[in-house]
Structure 1
Amino acid sequence: MKKRFLAFFLAVCLAITALAVPATAAGNNTAIQTAVSLGGLTTEQTADLSAPLTRGQLARLLTAFSAYRTSTGSQSSIGTLFTDVDSSSAWAPYIRIAVQNGWMSGYTDGSFRPDNTVTLEEACTAALCLLGYDITTLSGSFPAAQLNKAEALGLRAGLSRSQGEALTLEDGAVLLYNALTANTKDGQVYATTLGFTVNNGKVDTSSVLLSNLKGPFVAGASTTLPFEPVAIYRNDEITTSLALNQYDVYYYSESTRTVWIYTRRAAGRVTAVAPSASAPTSVTVAGTEYTIADASAAYTLSSLSGGGVGQVVTLLLGMNNEVVQVLTGQQADAAFYGVVQTSTRNLVESNGADVRQAVSVLCTDGVTRTVNVDKQLNYPAGWLVEITVDAEGEHIQALDPKSIAGTISADGTSLGSYSFANDIEILDTTSEGVAGTIRPSRLSGVTLSESDIRYYTLNENGEIDRLILDDVTGDLWEYATLDDVKNLTTVVGDQIDSAIQSALGTSTGGGSTGSSAGSSVSTLVSTLLPSTSDILYGIIDGSITSTLWSKITSSTSQLASWLLNLGASSTTGPISDILSFFGSGATYVCYVDGKQVSYQTSVKYPVVAGGVAVSKSTSGGVKNMIQLMPTIIDHLGPAYVMSGDTRYETADDMQVYLWYSGQYFPTTLSQVNTEEYTLIGWYDNFGCAAGQKVRLLIAVKNN
């Protein structure tokens, strides 16, 4: 069950952060958010959590934290409950439930006094009754007996109130949240009796929110929600637009006033259903298997309705890409755009031996689709293609580039004069076919040239709804910290030295040649053999300036010049050895995300130490390796760093390492600072329009 709701959990976490909880309540956020999600507090009340907790509000909290939280709407509205609470009162259903279950009671004069404030002992007594305790059997007298028992059960954890003090809304939420992890009279953890999950003494908030989730629903042409939402998520990304288009899948939570909208589709010919044709629970379309979450969808895809393998369909997908509804006929027509990942030819023997070619395409919606094409066609990795689905099946064709230029607005909602559609899909790609979806906010304020945009489409409103980029973010590269390069180059230096010295020792009348060769060897060794220590400390003490760093990391051209000079008089001996070395592969030992990895390359790249960027093919082979640019960091911000007066944004997945005595140790940003450590940021500086982000940070302890 947990795995099926991973995507939802992410959206839930986003929704929780949208609640307006004051900074003073930061320590009790979980309790407040749980109270809101269960309907015990409104989102408006979170703006004033220091307001007094009243008896009416306590009745609402008790009901929300009980099995009756979904029953308030069914409470009878006939008759007067108390002299001061009639059936029209907003508190009436909660008070009725609280009184009927013995959690609270009225006064002898027939009143309930819903606006009276609640003291610590009154609230603790009500919570004990909620847990099933008979307060008349407690050891001692009121209120000491009730307060002592509440303390023993952990109900007062996080509360600073003492006997006789009035509670606030925040206090009430904390008290009832504590009740969830307390033991009932029967010895059970109270939250488990409500169907919630408790792990290591903490309530799984996602299981609480799931209990209030309504849906999935499929929007019609004029669907409206029963409430005005305060948080909206489209395909698990926050948005301000509530636009519900036909066939959108949506879910909502009335208690949190949150809605989740999904526009994802899967279209193509059904190639498999499982576990049986008559009762499928999963379906495979365009090479991807989807779980069926709706009984009517399962029937449409079953043999009982004439559906199943061979049927051309469009699947409407909800949370976790589960199938909510199935469209057939003309409704199933669809088009997808993306970049080829792989093309493979395989033997098939269904009607005699033959070869079938399958083309795998990563589309702008983030889904990888596989389409079977003529075995004689050629679709290399990196090609832009369009996949169309109609009653005849799936078709694929190459796309010619279609580009525009302009600046993305600061709020990430437009490109030049074109507005972005609410459900815009953006795919960043490389020429090798590596690709990944990105959020519009990732490009905020970035100016894109025509060479940055490979393709785009417009919807019926003239808005950009699909955008395919050409390595704009730099996020498709793999970033690594190169281990000590001296381990790689010392052996080579020794080999070259030995070869040249051997040549010098056997030359005749070559004084000038020997001098020239010796000078060249010195130049080559100084270029190739700096250690990590030399480089890192050179950056720290300023002896390696940006100019010198560029010289070091552009050694390919220097080596070419050196080799040409040396090769003017010889094409055998040492020059042959050197050319052979630089024309052959190498092994680069690096750290990526805290783990040591090795890159096997067919050529050698001009990288020496610190951060490097690695470009890969879709099969995982190294296509290029570029040295990152270093900078000393003076200040750490929440999502940026400062180097002097220059500001650098940090990558979301920035790696942090402590360097000590020739070894890298992975750590976290919270463990280093600019007072006790010298921090070196390594940022990409190789031309990505939305790049120049600090990808790696290396900390060197000052002592």
Structure 2
Amino acid sequence: MKKRLLAFLLAVSIAVSMLALPASAAGNANTAVQLSITLNGMDSTQTAALNAVVTRGAFARMLVSYSTFRESVGSQGAVGTLYKDLPGTSAYAPYVRIAVQQGWLSGYTDGTFRPDNAVTLEEAVTAVLKLLGYKMTELSGSFPQAQLNKASELGLRNQLDRQQGEALNYEECAILMYNTLTANSASGSAYGTSLGFTVSNGQVDTSSVMMSSLKGPFIADGTTQLPFTPASIYRNDKVSGSAELNQYDVYYYSESLQTVWIYTRRAAGRITAVSPSASAPTSVTVAGSTYTLGSSAVASQVSSLNGGGVGQVVTLLLGMNNEAAGIVTGEEADSVFYGVVQSSSRSLIEENGADVLQKVAVYCTDGITRTVNVDKSLNFPAGWLVEITVSPDGENVERIDRRSTSGTINEAATALGSAALADDVEILDTTSEGVAGTVRPSRLSGVTLSSSDVRYYTVNEAGQIDRLILNDVTGDLWKYGVLDDVKNLAANYTDLKSFIGSFQTSGDSSGTAATPKTTTTKTTTGAASGTTGTAGTTGSTTGTTTTTTAATVAGQVSNLLVPTTSEILWGIVSGDILSTSWQKLTSNTGSLLSIGFKQVAEITGTPFKQILNFIGGGATYVCYVNGSQVSFTTAIKYPVIAGGVAARQETTGSIKTMVQLMPLKIDRVGAASVLSGGTRYEMADDAQVYLWYKGQYYPTKLSYVNTDEYKLTGWYDNFGCAAGKKVRVIIAVKND
């Protein structure tokens, strides 16, 4: 079977697109960590050390933070010494006191608590079960198996790749506590509801709790001081270590949650529309985007009754959900934005006679697409880097030259080489076609960027990099999916048969009808009787001359090109198709195509030029993307063979190129990564997961499949993105 598979991989480039399976992101790791920080279960500084072991003292803090006692921690004070190794002055003392009083944790018979000991899986789930109100004496079995079994039954161990006796790290404890909110308590209802959260379909909506204690928006004037020292800080919805407020920053805070949200986003340009009326607007359109006015005070500033409205050049100060919390006008409204051109268009206007108006849409580093009117005679192709300047006179767009740098993003994602990243740094990944998307700094942790990876950057007054435009560094801008083998095989077989038939019935260039093509085949007797092969194989042969029809030749080619889906899947799982072989076959498009051309030319006798024309005739690839069946129509046929594929698109959605993903056999699944042969591969946040059965793909979640009951095949991008090599697709095949 291996020989047949390799023959398929070599020749399929011109005729077949097959198989594949995506992967859903590994649970709620990021959400769990963010929630833990918000509830003061852990510090924002610990996001840089999520792999650090959690101690018993630190876990006591988590337990209390996820309980109704979290509001009363401050009232505990430094009263007495509960354990001889835990003085009242310890930061963990109030949390341990509450956890012990409630019976979630206990000390040792020698009078110690051992707060610096690592918390193990069985200790953690036992404490959580008690938090949920379960009585240990009512569990079936003995410690710790009874507790571990009950935790699995409730879903507490979902995405926790730990066994009995193993210590938990901060990320794993955050996931455990998130699972606690979604699990049923002893009373039968989701535990999170008792804390005021909304729990639905295994997800926790924390907004109701946070919004009830939220104050704001406020506009900082440069001297503003918060009424408390925040434990958790978010800047532009990202975890931050600095609560510094600069002039015109928009901020909100929750004193009970000890949390502050700071926004530095701006929308600047000329107001081109107001709604619903000029005198009483509730929203305005600036630079092509519409924003809700956050208050009556803001609305009055752009009301026509106060001289504002359409034509006015403003800078909107944006807060949560991009609502306009404030407005700045005049010279103070001057702003500069950087981004990549998405599109440009010209249209007819007939205001003062007929003329042409050109608009350019620019995706900026802050994630906002701005549309600006420019001179109709200028050209702004998609993919150009540009600068938008806004002044009281209006907006201007100019192309900017490349400004590159290089270095390694440190593990804390606070510096690029020796250059510090600003706390509110804006990072934009782009392609030369103009496709773009914002990137959180932590996404680039530990990544080395070459000068070709950085298209542009700017620095603030402190010399910190505050804007960074990248060149397809993450791989996240590509569209990932799996090939629908049944659909593609049927279409390609029909196309191939028609293509071959055209050279057996069509005339030559002078119009003379061609005679049917005759080919010589040889019957080969191998080790097993009845084995046949094409000319050139070893063994005793008997030559016969036959007139080959289109169907016969197409059948011969399809025998090489069309193995079953299960052959490909199990070839990877069993090791018959090694990753090294796969990479060699798919990494060099020209080489793969030329091999495919030669094999088909040998079988059909078709001139090489005509085969090239066939390849260049385009194709339609039927795929599953994010659980839905879609079709990619391309200008040429790409050598995508089987399984996971990646498509690079224009801003219009048309396909620029398609490449094959690399396969790997998954041995173990972690919270946000998988293990294959001892090597760890991170999963993409939006990884897709499919169950494959008899040629059909069924979108599912990673929590519903495992390496015990399923064979898992991962597909990761390996086409050169510095922050790539993420598992994008996972195919699960049930063992039965």
How far off its partner does 1:18 sit?
A: 4.1
User: SS at 1:320's partner residue?
Assistant: helix
Matched residue, 1:359: 360
How far off its partner does 1:673 sit?
A: 1.5
Write the mapping of 1:169-184 to structure 2, written as runs, cut at 5 A. none
Matched residue, 1:144: none
Q: Provide closer, same or farther for how the CA distance between residues 241 and 509 of structure 1 changes in structure 2, counting only shifts above 3 A.
A: closer
Q: Provide closer, same or farther for how the CA distance between residues 688 and 524 of structure 1 changes in structure 2, counting only shifts above 3 A.
A: farther
> How far apart, CA to CA, are the structure 2 residues paired with 1:464 and 1:203?
35
Q: Provide closer, same or farther for how the CA distance between residues 23 and 673 of structure 1 changes in structure 2, counting only shifts above 3 A.
A: farther
User: SS at 1:49's partner residue?
Assistant: helix
Equivalent of residue 16 in structure 1, options 14, 38, 55: 38
Q: Provide closer, same or farther for how the CA distance between residues 237 and 651 of structure 1 changes in structure 2, counting only shifts above 3 A.
A: same
> Which range moves more in the overlay, 201-210 or 403-412?
201-210
Matched residue, 2:509: none
Matched residue, 2:9: none
Matched residue, 2:449: 448
User: SS at 1:228's partner residue?
Assistant: coil
Q: Mark the runs of 5 or more structure 1 residues left unpaired by the alignment.
A: 1-8, 54-155, 163-173, 183-190
Write the mapping of 1:282-297 to structure 2, written as runs, cut at 5 A. 282-297=283-298
> How far apart, CA to CA, are the structure 1 residues paired with 2:271 and 2:560?
59
Write the mapping of 1:254-269 to structure 2, written as runs, cut at 5 A. 254-269=255-270
Checking the alignment, whether the CA contact within 8 Å between 1:454 and 1:468 is kept in structure 2 is yes
Matched residue, 2:489: 486
Q: Provide closer, same or farther for how the CA distance between residues 11 and 284 of structure 1 changes in structure 2, counting only shifts above 3 A.
A: farther
Q: Percent identity?
A: 54
> How far apart, CA to CA, are the structure 2 residues paired with 1:40 and 1:630?
55
State whether structure 2 residue 575 is matched by structure 1 residue 542.
yes
Checking the alignment, whether the CA contact within 8 Å between 1:496 and 1:574 is kept in structure 2 is no
> How far apart, CA to CA, are the structure 2 residues paired with 1:317 and 1:582?
51
How far off its partner does 1:410 sit?
A: 0.8
Q: Which amino acid aligns with 2:245?
A: L
How far off its partner does 1:366 sit?
A: 0.3
Matched residue, 2:594: 560
User: SS at 1:454's partner residue?
Assistant: strand
Write the mapping of 1:617-632 to structure 2, written as runs, cut at 5 A. 617-632=650-665
> How far apart, CA to CA, are the structure 2 residues paired with 1:424 and 1:677?
42
Write the mapping of 1:304-319 to structure 2, written as runs, cut at 5 A. 304-319=305-320
Q: Which amino acid aligns with 1:601?
A: T
Q: Which amino acid aligns with 1:416?
A: G
Q: Provide closer, same or farther for how the CA distance between residues 379 and 46 of structure 1 changes in structure 2, counting only shifts above 3 A.
A: farther
Q: Provide closer, same or farther for how the CA distance between residues 272 and 498 of structure 1 changes in structure 2, counting only shifts above 3 A.
A: closer
Matched residue, 1:322: 323
1:658-702 C-alpha deviation (Å, 9 max, x unpaired): 111111111111111122222111000000000001111111222
Equivalent of residue 98 in structure 2, options 34, 49, 53: 49
> How far apart, CA to CA, are the structure 1 residues paired with 2:635 and 2:690?
28
Q: Mark the runs of 5 or more structure 2 residues left unpaired by the alignment.
A: 1-30, 43-56, 78-90, 103-130, 138-180, 507-513, 523-533, 537-544
Write the mapping of 1:664-703 to structure 2, written as runs, cut at 5 A. 664-703=697-736
> How far apart, CA to CA, are the structure 1 residues paired with 2:36 and 2:364?
25
Equivalent of residue 595 in structure 1, options 628, 640, 657: 628
Checking the alignment, whether the CA contact within 8 Å between 1:499 and 1:577 is kept in structure 2 is no
Q: Which amino acid aligns with 2:382?
A: A
Write the mapping of 1:316-355 to structure 2, written as runs, cut at 5 A. 316-355=317-356
Checking the alignment, whether the CA contact within 8 Å between 1:19 and 1:46 is kept in structure 2 is no
State whether structure 2 residue 694 is matched by structure 1 residue 661.
yes
How far off its partner does 1:506 sit?
A: 4.0
Q: Which amino acid aligns with 2:456?
A: Y
Matched residue, 2:303: 302
Q: Provide closer, same or farther for how the CA distance between residues 259 and 521 of structure 1 changes in structure 2, counting only shifts above 3 A.
A: same
Q: Which amino acid aligns with 1:265?
A: R
Matched residue, 2:403: 402
1:177-210 C-alpha deviation (Å, 9 max, x unpaired): x9xx99xxxxxxxx99xxx998999997533332
Checking the alignment, whether the CA contact within 8 Å between 1:345 and 1:355 is kept in structure 2 is yes
Matched residue, 1:32: 68
Q: Provide closer, same or farther for how the CA distance between residues 212 and 408 of structure 1 changes in structure 2, counting only shifts above 3 A.
A: same
Q: Provide closer, same or farther for how the CA distance between residues 328 and 632 of structure 1 changes in structure 2, counting only shifts above 3 A.
A: same
> How far apart, CA to CA, are the structure 2 residues paired with 1:474 and 1:296?
44
How far off its partner does 1:295 sit?
A: 2.8
State whether structure 2 residue 257 is matched by structure 1 residue 208.
no
How far off its partner does 1:383 sit?
A: 0.6
User: SS at 1:412's partner residue?
Assistant: coil
Q: Which amino acid aligns with 1:533?
A: S
Matched residue, 1:650: 683
How far off its partner does 1:32 sit?
A: 3.1
> How far apart, CA to CA, are the structure 2 residues paired with 1:447 and 1:522?
49
User: SS at 1:50's partner residue?
Assistant: helix
Task: Specify which structure has the bigger relative contact order, considering alpha-carbon pairs within 8 angstroms and separated by 6 or more residues.
Answer: 2
> How far apart, CA to CA, are the structure 2 residues paired with 1:509 and 1:447?
55
> How far apart, CA to CA, are the structure 1 residues paired with 2:495 and 2:607?
12
User: SS at 2:703's partner residue?
Assistant: helix
Q: Which amino acid aligns with 1:487?
A: A
How far off its partner does 1:371 sit?
A: 0.3
Structure 1 or 2, whichever has the larger Rg, is: 1
Matched residue, 2:145: none
Q: Which TM-score applies when normalising by structure 1?
A: 0.72
1:43-84 C-alpha deviation (Å, 9 max, x unpaired): 97556432548xxxxxxxxxxxxxxxxxxxxxxxxxxxxxxx
User: SS at 1:244's partner residue?
Assistant: coil
Q: Which amino acid aligns with 2:41?
A: L
How far off its partner does 1:346 sit?
A: 1.3
> How far apart, CA to CA, are the structure 1 residues paired with 2:584 and 2:418?
42
Q: Provide closer, same or farther for how the CA distance between residues 652 and 471 of structure 1 changes in structure 2, counting only shifts above 3 A.
A: same
Q: Which amino acid aligns with 1:529?
A: V
> How far apart, CA to CA, are the structure 2 residues paired with 1:279 and 1:653?
42
Q: Provide closer, same or farther for how the CA distance between residues 628 and 200 of structure 1 changes in structure 2, counting only shifts above 3 A.
A: closer
How far off its partner does 1:628 sit?
A: 0.1
Checking the alignment, whether the CA contact within 8 Å between 1:333 and 1:391 is kept in structure 2 is yes
1:609-661 C-alpha deviation (Å, 9 max, x unpaired): 11000111111111111000001111112111111122111111111111111
State whether structure 2 residue 215 is matched by structure 1 residue 238.
no
How far off its partner does 1:254 sit?
A: 0.9
> How far apart, CA to CA, are the structure 2 residues paired with 1:663 and 1:511?
37
Matched residue, 1:495: 498
How far off its partner does 1:211 sit?
A: 2.3
State whether structure 2 residue 229 is matched by structure 1 residue 228.
yes
Checking the alignment, whether the CA contact within 8 Å between 1:499 and 1:573 is kept in structure 2 is no
Q: Which amino acid aligns with 2:626?
A: D
Q: Which amino acid aligns with 1:486?
A: L
> How far apart, CA to CA, are the structure 2 residues paired with 1:398 and 1:435?
17
User: SS at 2:683's partner residue?
Assistant: strand
Checking the alignment, whether the CA contact within 8 Å between 2:39 and 2:65 is kept in structure 1 is no
Checking the alignment, whether the CA contact within 8 Å between 2:263 and 2:320 is kept in structure 1 is yes
